[in-house]
């Protein structure tokens, strides 16, 4: 069987493979304590040349099938990228994205995953180091659901810390695969422009959606699915900011596309299976949230989809999965131990707490998956009949129930966190959610080669959306909805695209809306689609480009703080656990200026302990400048008077920290006060 190659798939490979290779080599070298940007760039260049060579060879053999849908797909992807992230602008950011950027800056500066802080190194006792660590005990005292272990925590709000160790045990908090790629950009463009490395990941996310849609529903589905996923508010906001969700989603969807292509080809293809395993494994290495989907996709091929010659493919898939898994295990036992302890252990505890509620949902999902597996293995796909009318009726009732549930979820009280179902309806519009469920019914009703992995993951994605209590719904709903980017939103967009095409074409053979004339049916379909796209675009307008820039001006503010006092003096920031913002500037100040910084772990520090901190730094020849929020009273330092020496501030914006729907950006005014510490005068 001659294999035809889509140019969009080639473009995805040219974008994703070098980017992933560079990030992985950067991570491996940083993990060895020898961060090697030259090695990472050289490896990525070789991979890019290999992809280009394959593309030229395939084109010379007439195996590249280009059509108008490919051109439209590429044009839409470029337009959405340009609208979401103007290339000429740096993007100082907030929350998780700031953690990734600061981790990237430290990897570049320290050459590995063990970070060296001059402020922490001067503190010679665990008690002093604990005062500048936001420990789990401090977090629990502030009302956050952290474990009871008090020996771990955060340094400067962005880095994992072990204060019982002499060097403080500083390292990355989030798994550093994504940050290692940002570190390459930090070396090449400077730390305040490292976020530009998010651009190829965002493009790969869009292209991977198009490739999956093309494999499932044909060429016209590719630009339609890409547009449905990219025109809404989630991509409009996150495309311009360095969050790992888009990177993990691109890798996960690329692995899914490879599995779908494996099901389509007639001959054994261990190389394609190995690539699928590697992409899925890197998705799990990039973002812990993707591990359930990675396991399900791999299990589908290894257990369900068997064919002659499949043993070699299974081995290749397993090898591809194993390499990133082994590195993830090393990270879990070392630098990323804090992250896995908090997130993996936290999700497990919440699962146990909510098991009575989640058990029916998970049981239903297991039954549906079992039925799908049984149907898949019962007879060849070509002989498999369409679902009879009673089953189609039940499927239609399920679609109606889901549509009504999504509309009901939209009407949640403004004072309570919205369920994830309402966030999905906001991300894709209620019409889009309805169309996605219709598309899932069609995939199950009309199984074809290539749709097996798609249907399996879609069946599991929807119950995971309903199991949303596992997700922390704090801060802005926009922040919580990022969980959709790796899998739920892309699959929903692909399925919705398939539903719209089926509606326009009158597919399956019996037809959707069979009583309506074809011309009227097509007009109705495109009218509904136009309304959906208009609603999604309107929802995204407040978050695109400059409108969605979090904490704009943060880099300038950090540099202004870095100029206070002498270069060796310590900037000691007040805690963030009482809702103040001063401590959030510590890590950017360290990353952008190199100034020694520290953040108080508790909002109510002991005056004598503070005096001991000042004495320890004084013995090392460092004075202390205390940085507090103008809205708070500065802490008392035993034996010292606080003298205001300067103020710095910025009026910016961030996602509004309230649960109201729809999410919105809100003004964020920050005014910081810098205090010098002078010996107290005699009474």
58-83 pLDDT, tens digit per residue, is 888 888 888 889 999 999 999 888 87
Contact call for residues 406 and 429 (beta carbons, < 8 A): no
The order of strands in the sheet holding 624-629 is 597-599, 570-573, 624-629, 665-679, 640-655
* Token pair listed for 158: 């962005």
Radius of gyration of the chain (CA): 26
Q: Is 465 left (phi over 0), alpha (psi -120 to 50) or beta?
A: alpha
Contact between 458 and 443 under an 8 Å Cβ cutoff? The reply is yes
Q: Which ranges in 112-220 belong to alpha helices (H)?
A: 118-121, 126-131, 136-141, 177-189, 198-217
For residue 506, the 8-state DSSP code is T
Using CA atoms, how far residue 2 sits from 65, 211, 452, in Å, is: 12, 19, 22
Tell me, what DSSP letter sits at residue 335?
T
Q: What CA dihedral angle connects 572, 578, 580 and 585, to 10 degrees?
A: 40
Give the Å distances, CA to CA, from 91 to 158, 190, 195, 552: 17, 12, 6, 7
Rounded to a whole number, what is the largest CA-CA distance in the chain?
96
Strands of the sheet containing 153-155, edge to edge, are 134-135, 153-155, 159-161, 171-172
* Structural contact between residues 136 and 149, judged by C-beta atoms closer than 8 angstroms: yes
Assign 3-state DSSP to the chain and report helix, strand, coil percentages, each to 5: 65, 10, 30
Structure tokens at 638: 């035993």
Phi and psi torsions of 174, nearest 5° = -70, 150
Which residues have a Cβ under 8 Å from the Cβ of 48 and sit 6 or more positions away? 14, 17, 18
Cα distance between the two ends of the chain: 94
DSSP state of 304: I
CA gap 610, 259 in Å, rounded: 58
| Burial per residue of 109-145, b for 16 or more beta-carbon CB atoms within 10 angstroms, e otherwise | bbbbbbbebbbbebbeebebbbbbbbbbbbbeebeee
Crossing angle, helix 221-230 and helix 488-505, to 10 degrees? 130
| pLDDT at residue 386, as a whole number | 45
Cα(614)–Cα(282) distance, integer angstroms = 45
What pLDDT sits at residue 348? 58
Contact yes or no for 135/163 (Cβ under 8 A): yes
- The contacts of residue 42 (CB under 8 Å, 6+ apart) are none
Q: CA–CA separation, 230 vs 265, rounded Å?
A: 29
Q: From residue 570, how far is each of 152, 164, 567 by CA, in Å?
A: 22, 21, 8
518-540 and 488-505 helices cross at what angle (nearest 10)? 150
Task: Single out the residue of 119, 126, 121 nearest to residue 153, CA to CA.
Answer: 126
Q: How crowded is residue 209: how many other Cβ atoms within 10 Å of its Cβ?
A: 32
Q: Cβ distance 485 to 246 under 8 Å?
A: yes
Token pair of 43 as six digits: 């490896």
What CA–CA distance (Å, rounded) separates 412 from 406? 11
Q: Rounded to the nearest 10 degrees, how much is the dihedral formed by the CA atoms of 299, 275, 484, 160?
A: 100
CA distances from 372 to 124, 364, 545 (A): 61, 12, 42
The verdict on whether omega for the bond into residue 88 sits within 30 degrees of 0, i.e. cis, is: no
Task: List the structure tokens of 82.
Answer: 């340009």
pLDDT (0 to 100) of residue 173? 87
Output phi, psi for 554, to 5 deg. Answer: -65, -35
E strand or H helix at 677, and its extent? strand 665-679
Q: Kindly give the residue spans of alpha helices, DSSP state H, lying in 231-354.
A: 233-238, 245-264, 270-286, 291-299, 310-333, 337-339, 345-353
- SS3 string of 218-234? CCCHHHHHHHHHHCCHH
* Cβ contact 85:163 at 8 Å: no
Q: How far is CA 474 from the centre of its chain?
A: 17
Residues of the chain predicted below pLDDT 70: 1-3, 85-95, 142-150, 266-268, 304-310, 343-417, 447, 449-450, 459-475, 506-516, 545-548, 682-683
Q: Are 285 and 324 in contact (CB under 8 A)?
A: yes
Measure the CA–CA gap between 23 and 400, rounded to whole angstroms. Answer: 44
Collapse the DSSP code of 375 into the 3-class scheme (helix H, G, I; strand E, B; otherwise coil) and give the result. Answer: helix
């Amino acid at each position: 069987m001659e294999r035809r190659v889509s140019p969009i798939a080639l473009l995805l490979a040219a974008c994703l493979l070098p980017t992933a290779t560079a990030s992985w080599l950067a991570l491996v070298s940083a993990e060895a304590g020898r961060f090697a940007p030259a090695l990472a760039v050289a490896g990525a260049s070789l991979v890019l040349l290999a992809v280009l060579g394959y593309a030229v060879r395939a084109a010379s053999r007439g195996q590249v099938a280009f059509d108008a849908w490919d051109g439209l797909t590429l044009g839409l992807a470029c337009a959405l990228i340009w609208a979401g992230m103007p290339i000429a602008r740096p993007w100082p950011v907030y929350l998780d994205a700031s953690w990734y950027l600061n981790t990237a800056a430290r990897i570049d500066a320290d050459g590995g995953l063990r970070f060296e802080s001059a402020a922490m190194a001067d503190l010679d006792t665990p008690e002093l180091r604990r005062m500048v660590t936001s420990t789990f005990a401090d977090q629990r005292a502030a009302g956050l659901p952290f474990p009871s272990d008090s020996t771990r925590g955060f340094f400067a709000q962005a880095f994992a810390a072990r204060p019982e160790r002499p060097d403080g045990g500083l390292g990355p908090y989030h798994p550093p695969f994504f940050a290692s790629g940002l570190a390459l950009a930090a070396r090449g463009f400077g730390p305040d422009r490292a976020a530009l490395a998010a651009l190829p990941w965002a493009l790969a996310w869009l292209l991977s959606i198009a490739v999956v849609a093309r494999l499932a529903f044909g060429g016209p589905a590719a630009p339609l699915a890409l547009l449905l996923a990219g025109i809404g508010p989630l991509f409009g906001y996150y495309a311009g900011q360095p969050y790992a969700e888009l990177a993990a989603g691109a890798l996960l969807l690329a692995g899914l596309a490879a599995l779908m292509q494996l099901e389509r080809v007639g001959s054994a293809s261990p190389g394609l299976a190995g690539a699928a395993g590697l992409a899925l494994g890197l998705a799990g290495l990039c973002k812990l949230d993707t591990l359930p989907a990675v396991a399900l996709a791999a299990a589908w091929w290894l257990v369900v989809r068997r064919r002659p010659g499949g043993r070699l493919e299974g081995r290749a898939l397993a090898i591809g999965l194993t390499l990133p898994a082994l590195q993830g295990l090393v990270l879990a036992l070392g630098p990323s131990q804090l992250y896995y302890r908090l997130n993996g252990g936290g999700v497990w505890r919440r699962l146990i707490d909510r098991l009575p509620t989640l058990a029916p949902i998970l049981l239903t999902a297991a039954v549906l998956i079992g039925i799908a597996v049984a149907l898949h293995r019962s007879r060849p796909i070509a002989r498999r009949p369409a679902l009879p009318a009673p089953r189609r009726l039940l499927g239609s009732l399920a679609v109606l129930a889901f549509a009504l549930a999504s509309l009901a979820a939209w009407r949640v009280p403004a004072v309570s966190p919205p369920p994830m179902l309402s966030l999905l309806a906001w991300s894709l519009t209620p019409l889009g959610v309805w169309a996605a469920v219709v598309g899932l019914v069609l995939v199950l009703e009309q199984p074809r080669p290539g749709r097996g992995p798609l249907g399996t993951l879609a069946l599991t994605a929807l119950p995971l959306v309903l199991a949303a209590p596992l997700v922390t719904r704090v801060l802005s709903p926009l922040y919580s909805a990022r969980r959709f980017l790796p899998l739920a939103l892309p699959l929903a967009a692909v399925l919705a695209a398939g539903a719209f095409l089926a509606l326009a074409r009158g597919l399956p053979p019996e037809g959707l809306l069979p009583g309506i004339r074809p011309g009227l049916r097509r007009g109705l379909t495109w009218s509904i689609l136009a309304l959906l796209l208009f609603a999604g675009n309107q929802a995204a307008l407040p978050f695109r480009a400059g409108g969605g820039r979090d904490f704009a001006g943060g880099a300038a503010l950090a540099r202004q703080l870095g100029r206070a006092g002498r270069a060796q003096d310590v900037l000691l920031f007040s805690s963030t656990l009482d809702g103040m913002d001063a401590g959030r500037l510590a890590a950017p100040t360290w990353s952008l200026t190199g100034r020694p910084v520290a953040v108080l772990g508790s909002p109510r520090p002991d005056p004598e302990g503070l005096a001991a901190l000042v004495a320890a730094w004084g013995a090392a020849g460092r004075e202390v400048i205390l940085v507090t929020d103008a809205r708070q009273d500065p802490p008392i330092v035993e034996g010292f008077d606080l003298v205001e020496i300067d103020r710095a501030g910025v009026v910016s914006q961030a996602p509004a920290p309230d649960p109201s729907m729809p999410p919105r950006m809100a003004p964020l005014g920050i005014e910081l006060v810098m205090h010098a510490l002078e010996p107290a005068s005699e009474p």
